Amino acid sequence: MSKIGPDLSEFSKEELSILEEITYKFGGMNANQLSELSHWEEAWQHFVDSATPIDYSEAFSLNAL
């Protein structure tokens, strides 16, 4: 873990709001819990047997968000 905090001035108010929401929803989860949650997503299921990376546009269809 970094000893230096992030430079929040690099983010817009909207981006900071999104980061805050994500932290609220998922901040208490560990890596295994996040992994399990992601495996319920259609995007993961669609690409699981593929060497193709999941496209960022798939983020708009995530159920967890």
What is the pTM (predicted TM-score) of this model? 0.68
Residue 62 pLDDT grade (very low, low, confident, very high; cuts 50, 70, 90): confident
Question: Average of pLDDT values for 38-56?
Answer: 89
At residue 26 the predicted structure's pLDDT band, cuts being 50, 70 and 90, is: very high
Per-position b or e across 24-40, b if 16+ CB within 10 A of its CB: eeeeeeeeeeeeeeeee
Q: What residues contact 65, with CB distance under 8 A and at least 6 apart?
A: 25, 59
Q: Is the pLDDT of residue 50 over 80?
A: yes
- For the segment 19-33, the average pLDDT, to the nearest whole number, is 96
